[in-house]
Amino acid sequence: MKFASRIEKVPPYLFVEISRKIAAKREQGIDVISFGIGDPDIPTPDNVIEKLRETALDGPNHRYPETDGLPEFRQAVADWYQRRFGISVHPDKETLPLIGAKEGIGHAALCFIEPGDIALVPDPGYPVYSVGTWFTGGECHWMPLLGENGWMPDLDAIPDEVADRARVIWLNYPNNPTGAIAEAGYFEKVVEFAKEHDIAVMHDASYSEVAFDGYRPVSFLETPGAIDVGVEFHSLSKSYNMTGWRLGMAVGNEDIISALMVIKSNLDSGVPNAIQYMGMEAMELSQEAIDERNAIYERRRDRVVQTLQEIGLDAIPPKASLYVWTRIPEGFTSAEFTALLLDEADIVVTPGNGYGEYGEGYIRLSLTISDEDMEKGLAKLSEWRIPSKG
């Protein structure tokens, strides 16, 4: 048997490694507390589950869905965009349901990348942008995300010859893993850059509904001209605690949506109808309900940041996303520091270098852990002392 080189080239999915380590510790009877994966512990809202119960009984929903989804779902997405961002999109031409944002992000590469083409990819970044590029034979040009630039790529630092060969630029705000938000005016520069170099903009807005301190994340599509050059990916996973149900959507440029539809209709058969009905119910949730949920994460954010600061780390509270991204002391690599936390404090965090070279020197802690486990974990952390180096 001879596998394609893409199977061997790709590093193991970050969390596979982490899950293996946790399992090994737990087998030894150790109570490991994981701040690793961003997977909401808060359940899917009751009325959304009730909608599944109801629609699961309906015979037509037992059959193949359409790849472009139920017309009612597309309309619900357009209505949600209007309510949430004040943007009007055409439900049939400018929206497409996804089997989670991850599916759409992975498949989007097939719409643009030929062997040897370039994708502009943030580093650190969600790994699917680069893996999707490699799977299609493309190359990544890494755009460093640096604290001094507000964790936003410096578009002026991209050489013209690279920009001219690039087919897509990947962006993600609120950002995983850094927790950064897009600064006002940044997307205007992105639209200008994309037009100048004929690049498609893929904005991953999977964390658009998880924000703190009264901040409401913006949509890339609010920027004048954005819909001419790009699409935005949304996920109901984090927005409505629905990771297990696999639902998201792409919204934006009509030509990109049709290209994605060509890929998807040939490779998958869409989102089960009953799950789309759940999504419609979820998108109707009141802002008060979302704010209440975000207040839980905000409280956890404050506790995590406070404890990290107490042990001497330079943690800054993020305004959005589910993550606290913090620098580790000089002299440790992310992998060493993560291993120390697991070995000495029985705590799992994600090493920053798992998101790219520029994530080296950082760790990420997820807020999707029950209050009880979080307090247990933070108690272990407060007792832990960072070993001195040298």
Contacting positions for ligand PLP (CB under 6 A): 38, 100-102, 126, 172, 176, 204, 206, 235, 237, 243, 248
Q: How far is the CB of 65 from ligand PLP (least distance, A)?
A: 17
Q: Tokens for 372?
A: 């009880």
Cβ-in-10-Å burial (0-12, 13-18, 19+) of 48 comes to buried
Q: How far is the CB of 175 from ligand PLP (least distance, A)?
A: 8
Is 141:121 a contact under the CB 8 Å cutoff?
Answer: yes
Q: How far is the CB of 102 from ligand PLP (least distance, A)?
A: 3
Which is closer to ligand PLP, CB of 223 or CB of 350?
Answer: 350
Q: How far is the CB of 210 from ligand PLP (least distance, A)?
A: 11
CA distance 241 to 368: 10
Which is closer to ligand PLP, CB of 322 or CB of 381?
Answer: 322
CA distance 378 to 261: 45
- CB atoms under 10 Å from CB of 52, counted, come to 18
Q: How far is the CB of 123 from ligand PLP (least distance, A)?
A: 14
Q: How far is the CB of 125 from ligand PLP (least distance, A)?
A: 8
DSSP-derived letter for residue 10 is: S
| CA nearest to 140, candidates 149, 126, 221 | 126
Q: How far is the CB of 19 from ligand PLP (least distance, A)?
A: 14
Q: How far is the CB of 142 from ligand PLP (least distance, A)?
A: 16
Helix axes 273-283, 46-56, angle to 10 degrees: 150
CA distance 204 to 182: 12
Alpha helices in the chain (DSSP H): 5-9, 14-27, 46-56, 71-85, 101-112, 128-135, 160-165, 186-197, 226-229, 236-239, 254-267, 273-283, 287-310, 334-345, 371-383
Which is closer to ligand PLP, CB of 62 or CB of 215?
Answer: 215
End-to-end CA distance of the chain: 49
